[in-house]
Amino acid sequence: MKFNLLSKAKTQVTNHEGAKAFTLTPEMELYTAVVTWSLNDSFYEKDEERLTRLRGLIEKCDPLFVGKLAVYARTKMYMRSVPLVLVAELAKLHSGDNLVARVTAGVVNRADEITELLACYELMNNRTGTKKLDRLSKQLQKGLTTAFNRFDEYQFAKYNRDGAIKLRDALFLVHPKAKDELQQLLFNKIVNSTLQTPYTWETELSALGQLNFDSEEAKALAFRAKWEELIDSDKLGYMALLRNLRNIQEAGVSYAHFQKVCATLADADKVAKAKQFPFRYLAAYRELLKTDTVPVKGIAQKLGELFPGNKGYTGALLDALEKAVQASAANIKGFGYDTRVLLACDVSGSMQTPVSAKSKVLLYDVGLMLAMLLQSRCKNVEVGMFGNTWKTITVPRNNILGNVQEFYKREGEVGYSTNGFLVIKDLLARKVRVDKVLLFTDCQLWNSSSTTGDHIQPLWLRYKAEVAPTAKLYLFDLKGYGQAPLQVLRNDVYLVAGWSDKVFDVLAALENGGSALDEINNVEL
């Protein structure tokens, strides 16, 4: 089925800034809303408002599409929470076949997602407080049984946390049938709370923290030895490594261990398997840049006194992160010498909000990061940013994280409105012919000028008619508010959404005559 056809209903609306915008089909709107939501309030939309909108869209879409979108969001776009919301809603609305079971099994990729899904299902069905879950959708139960049969003791123990719903509760609720005697013994351990404590950096450092030491120096040296042991064990996961680079540096580990960390970070195979959002590398990069400005205390201070030379290794870690990001970009198709590309990044006020409640990464960082990833794969490319004004900035192609930092430092140069129309107006004024224009934005474009009525839609039509008849414009929607500033699928305008580098797979599909929704419809359940 093709979902990305223009609706025959009213297509013109106003966006959150009161500017002219265009509706999307329910499937396109659901797609953009799902892959850009971290279950937190955004600049223009409260968390509850998006959930309400999501529920309405799910009811309008084919259940199979909703199911495939849930699996796509989890496995391709690296989302964790929103796919569970889709599964819980689908379980409420759909029955009569095994779709919910297949989707559940496809979405639950980690042991803790069993309990997370049950907690989500409980909440979505208003079964909190005195109304606890006593039964499940049969198909949800089947899907969770498949999930229970997938994980081993280490995986269960690693994620056996003290939430409102524990693994033990989930086991009693789902009643999974053990596939063999060994698994039955494992299920018994979950019931009796006798799972073996897993070897993770959290459990190891926590255990070390419970010990008594004769001196601060002895304690510091023990933590240094523990970090070196963790690095040697190869059980420090890639994400844990990314999040602990500064801790590892402050621990004063040996140069040989630093080399091992750098080699792991830059390993292309490990980068591919890690499936990290590109902005995770940026967050790690920025943490390392803080080494000279943020004071250290306690054990870190003592280790700094014992091993003062470790700050000199920071450059090697920054280089390793740059190599990791370049490895993540290696499979992006990009464009060749004969294709002139313009990348425009929205740095307006609405883009300067964190991607989630606990993150220091801002929404416009995501746009900058995606733009620089693509720039590294294009041969004939210009990059710029827009707010009140529009300007291009020349940066080297193969310095992705450094380029993001350069734009980050200079965003105030263009102001904080969302005058994306200036990108096209500038091309028209200079009669510059480009083949691809890509805007990384929350799509809430408007005109802050009181003297002109310029809007990006008519300017794009003029540009196509007067300068570049074959040009294409791609909107990379980073927040999924539900409208587009141009009519999508008309006049060579396309919409892509999400924060993962997998958005470029959608771009490649568009180049090959497909659509954004084809990537979702091709998901196997």
User: pLDDT value at position 132?
Assistant: 65
Q: What is the DSSP string of 84-152?
A: HHHHHHHHHH--SSSHHHHHHHHH--STHHHHHHHHHHHHHTT--TTS------HHHHHHHHHHHTT--
Q: For residue 290, what pLDDT is reported?
A: 82
Render the burial of 76-93: b for 16+ CB within 10 Å, e for the rest.
bbbbbbbbbbbbbbbbbe
Give me the pLDDT at residue 309, please. 58
Left, alpha or beta for 383 (phi > 0: left; psi -120 to 50: alpha)? beta
pLDDT of residue 10: 61
Distance, CA of 238 to CA of 267 (rounded, Å): 10
Nearest to 140 by CA among 162, 125, 158: 125
* Segments of the chain scoring below 50 in pLDDT: 1-9, 130
73 with 33: CB under 8 angstroms? no
Burial (CB count within 10 angstroms: exposed 0-12, middle 13-18, buried 19+), residue 268: middle
Strand partners, 20: 14
Gap between the terminal Cα atoms of the chain: 16
pLDDT number for residue 39: 83
What whole-number distance in Å separates Cα of residue 350 and Cα of residue 18?
14
DSSP string, 64-94: HHHHHHHHHHHHTS---HHHHHHHHHHHHH-
Q: Per 3-state DSSP, what percentage of the chain is helix, strand, and coil (rounded to 5)?
A: 55, 10, 40
* Helix, strand, or coil (residue 166): coil
364, 366, 368, 371 alpha-carbon torsion, rounded to 10°: -140
Phi and psi at residue 147, to the nearest 5°: -65, -45
Distance in angstroms (rounded) separating the CA atoms of residues 204 and 329: 34
Nearest to 50 by CA among 67, 65, 64, 36: 36
> 66, 165, 150, 69: which is closest to 108 by C-alpha?
150
Q: pLDDT tens across 377-407, in order?
A: 999 999 999 999 999 999 998 899 999 999 9
* Predicted pLDDT of residue 489: 85
Give the whole-angstrom CA distance, residue 483 versus residue 15: 7
Q: Which position has the token pair 């099994």?
A: 105
At residue 1, the pLDDT reads 34
0.75 cut: is pTM over it?
A: yes
Residue 394 class from Cβ within 10 Å (0-12 exposed, 13-18 middle, 19+ buried)? exposed
Secondary structure (DSSP) of 352-374: -SBSSTT---BHHHHHHHHHHHH
With contact defined as beta carbons under 8 Å apart, do 457 and 495 qualify? no
Give me the helices (H) in 149-180, please: 153-158, 167-174
